Chain A
Amino acid sequence: MSDEAGGVIGKETTIRGEVIGREDLRVEGRIEGTVRLEAELIVEEGGTVAAEVESAALTVAGSFDGKATCSDLVTLRQGSHATGTITAPQVVIEDGAVFDGTLEMDVGLDAAAQGNG
Protein backbone atom coordinates (compact mmCIF):
# COMPACT_ATOMS: atom_id res chain seq x y z
CA MET A 1 0.00 0.00 0.00
CA SER A 2 2.82 2.35 0.87
CA ASP A 3 4.16 1.21 -2.49
CA GLU A 4 1.59 3.56 -4.00
CA ALA A 5 3.11 6.56 -2.25
CA GLY A 6 6.38 8.11 -3.26
CA GLY A 7 8.35 7.70 -6.39
CA VAL A 8 11.45 6.07 -7.72
CA ILE A 9 13.73 6.83 -10.61
CA GLY A 10 14.95 3.45 -11.83
CA LYS A 11 18.53 2.46 -12.47
CA GLU A 12 18.29 2.86 -16.22
CA THR A 13 16.44 6.16 -16.18
CA THR A 14 17.68 9.73 -16.52
CA ILE A 15 15.63 12.85 -15.96
CA ARG A 16 16.90 16.19 -17.20
CA GLY A 17 14.76 19.03 -15.99
CA GLU A 18 12.66 19.79 -13.00
CA VAL A 19 11.12 17.47 -10.45
CA ILE A 20 8.62 18.93 -8.00
CA GLY A 21 6.84 16.84 -5.41
CA ARG A 22 5.22 16.38 -2.05
CA GLU A 23 6.33 12.79 -1.50
CA ASP A 24 9.57 10.93 -1.02
CA LEU A 25 11.63 10.21 -4.09
CA ARG A 26 14.25 7.49 -4.39
CA VAL A 27 16.84 7.88 -7.13
CA GLU A 28 18.52 4.73 -8.37
CA GLY A 29 19.19 6.32 -11.76
CA ARG A 30 20.04 9.90 -12.53
CA ILE A 31 18.50 13.36 -12.18
CA GLU A 32 20.06 16.49 -13.64
CA GLY A 33 18.44 19.85 -13.07
CA THR A 34 16.24 20.97 -10.23
CA VAL A 35 14.50 18.99 -7.51
CA ARG A 36 12.02 20.53 -5.10
CA LEU A 37 10.41 18.15 -2.63
CA GLU A 38 8.36 18.74 0.47
CA ALA A 39 9.68 15.37 1.56
CA GLU A 40 12.85 13.32 1.47
CA LEU A 41 15.14 12.85 -1.50
CA ILE A 42 17.04 9.59 -1.28
CA VAL A 43 19.96 9.03 -3.61
CA GLU A 44 20.47 5.28 -3.55
CA GLU A 45 23.76 3.49 -4.04
CA GLY A 46 24.54 3.74 -7.76
CA GLY A 47 22.18 6.70 -8.14
CA THR A 48 23.30 10.18 -9.13
CA VAL A 49 21.74 13.56 -8.54
CA ALA A 50 23.45 16.52 -10.18
CA ALA A 51 21.02 19.24 -9.30
CA GLU A 52 19.90 22.14 -7.26
CA VAL A 53 17.86 20.52 -4.53
CA GLU A 54 15.38 21.95 -2.06
CA SER A 55 13.83 19.35 0.17
CA ALA A 56 12.85 18.55 3.71
CA ALA A 57 15.50 15.88 3.97
CA LEU A 58 18.26 14.42 1.86
CA THR A 59 19.98 11.07 2.17
CA VAL A 60 22.86 10.25 -0.12
CA ALA A 61 24.16 6.71 -0.50
CA GLY A 62 25.19 7.23 -4.13
CA SER A 63 26.51 10.41 -5.59
CA PHE A 64 25.39 14.01 -5.27
CA ASP A 65 26.74 17.10 -6.96
CA GLY A 66 25.18 20.50 -6.64
CA LYS A 67 23.48 22.65 -4.12
CA ALA A 68 21.16 21.20 -1.50
CA THR A 69 19.05 23.28 0.83
CA CYS A 70 17.15 21.20 3.33
CA SER A 71 14.85 22.18 6.18
CA ASP A 72 15.61 19.10 8.20
CA LEU A 73 18.31 16.43 8.06
CA VAL A 74 20.98 15.67 5.48
CA THR A 75 22.72 12.31 5.76
CA LEU A 76 25.74 11.30 3.71
CA ARG A 77 26.04 7.55 4.04
CA GLN A 78 29.15 5.43 4.09
CA GLY A 79 30.42 5.00 0.53
CA SER A 80 28.57 8.05 -0.77
CA HIS A 81 30.23 10.80 -2.74
CA ALA A 82 29.04 14.39 -2.56
CA THR A 83 30.30 17.68 -3.89
CA GLY A 84 28.87 21.16 -3.74
CA THR A 85 27.07 23.11 -1.09
CA ILE A 86 24.82 21.63 1.57
CA THR A 87 22.70 23.88 3.73
CA ALA A 88 20.67 22.27 6.51
CA PRO A 89 20.09 22.57 10.25
CA GLN A 90 21.41 19.07 10.75
CA VAL A 91 24.00 17.22 8.70
CA VAL A 92 25.34 13.74 9.36
CA ILE A 93 28.40 12.55 7.48
CA GLU A 94 29.09 8.91 8.15
CA ASP A 95 32.56 7.44 8.34
CA GLY A 96 33.50 6.41 4.79
CA ALA A 97 31.46 9.10 3.07
CA VAL A 98 33.35 11.49 0.82
CA PHE A 99 32.31 15.12 0.81
CA ASP A 100 34.08 17.88 -1.04
CA GLY A 101 32.36 21.21 -0.70
CA THR A 102 30.76 23.65 1.65
CA LEU A 103 28.53 22.89 4.60
CA GLU A 104 26.24 25.52 5.97
CA MET A 105 24.50 24.41 9.08
CA ASP A 106 21.90 26.83 10.20
CA VAL A 107 22.04 26.22 13.93
CA GLY A 108 20.82 29.51 15.35
CA LEU A 109 24.01 31.52 14.98
CA ASP A 110 22.66 34.29 17.18
CA ALA A 111 22.10 31.99 20.12
CA ALA A 112 25.51 30.41 19.65
CA ALA A 113 27.18 33.81 19.46
CA GLN A 114 25.41 34.91 22.63
CA GLY A 115 26.48 31.75 24.39
CA ASN A 116 30.09 32.35 23.39
CA GLY A 117 30.04 36.00 24.34
Chain B
Amino acid sequence: MLDSMPRRREMAETVIGPRTKVQGALEGADRLVVRGLVKGTVSVDGPVLVAPGGTLEAEVAAVEVAIAGAVVGRVTARGRVEILPAARMVGDVRTPRILISDGAVFRGKVDMDFADGEGATHG
Protein backbone atom coordinates (compact mmCIF):
# COMPACT_ATOMS: atom_id res chain seq x y z
CA MET B 1 0.00 0.00 0.00
CA LEU B 2 3.00 2.26 0.51
CA ASP B 3 3.56 1.91 -3.21
CA SER B 4 -0.07 2.31 -4.08
CA MET B 5 -0.12 5.77 -2.48
CA PRO B 6 2.13 7.64 -4.88
CA ARG B 7 3.56 11.01 -3.97
CA ARG B 8 2.01 12.90 -6.80
CA ARG B 9 2.39 16.62 -6.61
CA GLU B 10 -1.17 17.28 -7.72
CA MET B 11 -2.57 15.25 -4.85
CA ALA B 12 -2.83 17.49 -1.85
CA GLU B 13 -1.27 16.04 1.21
CA THR B 14 -1.21 16.67 4.90
CA VAL B 15 1.97 15.70 6.68
CA ILE B 16 2.33 15.80 10.43
CA GLY B 17 6.10 15.97 10.83
CA PRO B 18 8.19 13.84 13.18
CA ARG B 19 8.64 16.71 15.62
CA THR B 20 5.01 17.74 15.68
CA LYS B 21 2.09 16.80 17.88
CA VAL B 22 -1.55 17.46 17.01
CA GLN B 23 -4.22 17.15 19.63
CA GLY B 24 -7.84 17.56 18.62
CA ALA B 25 -9.88 16.90 15.53
CA LEU B 26 -8.33 16.52 12.11
CA GLU B 27 -10.67 16.23 9.17
CA GLY B 28 -10.32 16.55 5.46
CA ALA B 29 -10.01 15.01 2.05
CA ASP B 30 -6.23 15.07 1.61
CA ARG B 31 -3.96 12.11 1.96
CA LEU B 32 -2.70 12.17 5.55
CA VAL B 33 0.80 11.10 6.52
CA VAL B 34 1.55 10.87 10.23
CA ARG B 35 5.26 10.95 11.04
CA GLY B 36 4.74 12.61 14.42
CA LEU B 37 1.91 12.26 16.92
CA VAL B 38 -1.80 12.79 16.35
CA LYS B 39 -4.21 12.45 19.28
CA GLY B 40 -7.95 12.84 19.06
CA THR B 41 -10.18 12.16 16.10
CA VAL B 42 -9.19 11.80 12.47
CA SER B 43 -11.75 11.81 9.71
CA VAL B 44 -10.27 11.72 6.24
CA ASP B 45 -11.95 11.09 2.92
CA GLY B 46 -8.75 9.60 1.59
CA PRO B 47 -5.82 7.43 2.58
CA VAL B 48 -4.03 7.63 5.92
CA LEU B 49 -0.46 6.46 6.35
CA VAL B 50 1.12 6.14 9.77
CA ALA B 51 4.80 6.20 8.85
CA PRO B 52 7.52 4.42 10.82
CA GLY B 53 8.02 6.44 14.01
CA GLY B 54 4.59 8.00 13.68
CA THR B 55 1.89 7.51 16.32
CA LEU B 56 -1.84 7.84 15.99
CA GLU B 57 -3.82 7.80 19.23
CA ALA B 58 -7.18 8.42 17.77
CA GLU B 59 -10.54 7.38 16.57
CA VAL B 60 -9.89 7.13 12.85
CA ALA B 61 -12.28 7.07 9.92
CA ALA B 62 -10.73 6.95 6.46
CA VAL B 63 -10.87 5.24 3.10
CA GLU B 64 -7.65 3.30 3.52
CA VAL B 65 -5.33 3.08 6.48
CA ALA B 66 -1.75 1.82 6.24
CA ILE B 67 0.13 1.43 9.50
CA ALA B 68 3.91 1.24 9.64
CA GLY B 69 4.16 3.03 12.97
CA ALA B 70 1.92 2.78 16.03
CA VAL B 71 -1.83 3.12 16.37
CA VAL B 72 -3.83 3.10 19.56
CA GLY B 73 -7.53 3.53 19.02
CA ARG B 74 -10.36 2.55 16.80
CA VAL B 75 -9.92 2.43 13.04
CA THR B 76 -12.71 2.38 10.50
CA ALA B 77 -11.78 2.16 6.84
CA ARG B 78 -14.30 1.64 4.11
CA GLY B 79 -11.56 0.43 1.76
CA ARG B 80 -8.95 -1.50 3.67
CA VAL B 81 -6.52 -1.57 6.55
CA GLU B 82 -2.95 -2.70 6.12
CA ILE B 83 -0.76 -3.37 9.13
CA LEU B 84 2.80 -3.42 7.84
CA PRO B 85 5.83 -5.20 9.30
CA ALA B 86 7.10 -3.51 12.50
CA ALA B 87 3.75 -1.78 12.97
CA ARG B 88 2.06 -1.88 16.36
CA MET B 89 -1.66 -1.55 16.72
CA VAL B 90 -3.84 -1.74 19.79
CA GLY B 91 -7.54 -1.27 19.22
CA ASP B 92 -10.42 -2.32 17.07
CA VAL B 93 -10.53 -2.36 13.32
CA ARG B 94 -13.63 -2.18 11.21
CA THR B 95 -13.07 -2.67 7.50
CA PRO B 96 -14.06 -4.98 4.65
CA ARG B 97 -10.42 -5.85 3.88
CA ILE B 98 -7.48 -6.26 6.21
CA LEU B 99 -3.86 -7.24 5.68
CA ILE B 100 -1.58 -7.97 8.59
CA SER B 101 2.05 -8.43 7.64
CA ASP B 102 4.45 -10.87 9.19
CA GLY B 103 6.15 -9.06 12.08
CA ALA B 104 3.30 -6.70 12.75
CA VAL B 105 1.85 -6.63 16.26
CA PHE B 106 -1.89 -6.26 16.65
CA ARG B 107 -4.14 -6.51 19.66
CA GLY B 108 -7.82 -5.85 19.22
CA LYS B 109 -10.98 -6.79 17.50
CA VAL B 110 -11.47 -7.06 13.77
CA ASP B 111 -14.90 -6.50 12.32
CA MET B 112 -15.09 -7.26 8.61
CA ASP B 113 -18.86 -7.44 8.61
CA PHE B 114 -18.87 -4.10 6.92
CA ALA B 115 -22.28 -3.65 5.31
CA ASP B 116 -22.53 -0.72 2.95
CA GLY B 117 -24.97 1.06 5.21
CA GLU B 118 -23.27 2.89 8.07
CA GLY B 119 -24.97 1.27 10.99
CA ALA B 120 -24.08 -2.41 10.79
CA THR B 121 -23.95 -2.82 14.51
CA HIS B 122 -22.66 -6.29 15.02
CA GLY B 123 -20.61 -6.66 18.19
In the assembled complex, A10 has its CB within 8 A of some CB on chain B: yes
Contact across chains for A11 and B30 when beta carbons are under 8 A apart: yes
Roughly how many angstroms separate A16 CA and B39 CA in the complex, as a whole number? 11
By a CB distance below 8 angstroms, the chain A residues around B112 are none
In the assembled complex, A90 has its CB within 8 A of some CB on chain B: no
A93 to chain B, nearest CB (A): 28
In the assembled complex, B100 has its CB within 8 A of some CB on chain A: no
- Taking A7-B36, A21-B36, A28-B12 as contacts, is the C-beta distance between A13 and B26 under 8 angstroms? yes
Roughly how many angstroms separate A19 CA and B31 CA in the complex, as a whole number? 18
Contact across chains for A17 and B31 when beta carbons are under 8 A apart: no
Roughly how many angstroms separate A16 CA and B20 CA in the complex, as a whole number? 15
Contact across chains for A25 and B29 when beta carbons are under 8 A apart: no
In the assembled complex, A18 has its CB within 8 A of some CB on chain B: yes
Contact across chains for A11 and B12 when beta carbons are under 8 A apart: yes
Roughly how many angstroms separate A10 CA and B44 CA in the complex, as a whole number? 11
Interface residues on B, range: 20 to 34
- Taking A10-B31, A14-B28, A17-B40 as contacts, is the C-beta distance between A29 and B14 under 8 angstroms? yes
Which of A5, A11, A18, A21 has its CB near the most chain B CB atoms (within 10 A)? A21
- Taking A12-B29, A29-B30 as contacts, is the C-beta distance between A17 and B17 under 8 angstroms? no
Contact across chains for B22 and A17 when beta carbons are under 8 A apart: yes
Residue of A5, A13, A25 near B28 (CB, 8 A) is: A13
Smallest CB gap from B44: residue in A: A13
Per-position contact with A for B30-51: 1 when CB-CB < 8 Å, else 0?
Answer: 1110011000100011000000
User: Given A11-B12, A19-B20, list of 20 further CB < 8 A pairs?
Assistant: A4-B18, A5-B17, A5-B18, A8-B14, A8-B15, A10-B12, A10-B14, A12-B29, A13-B12, A13-B28, A14-B25, A15-B22, A16-B25, A18-B23, A20-B21, A21-B36, A23-B17, A23-B18, A29-B30, A33-B24
Which residues of B are at the interface with A, using a C-beta cutoff of 8 A?
12-32, 35-36, 40, 44-45
Interchain residue pairs with CB less than 8 A apart (21): A5-B17, A6-B15, A7-B20, A10-B30, A11-B12, A11-B30, A12-B28, A13-B12, A13-B26, A13-B29, A13-B44, A14-B28, A15-B22, A16-B25, A18-B22, A18-B23, A20-B22, A20-B23, A22-B20, A23-B18, A29-B14
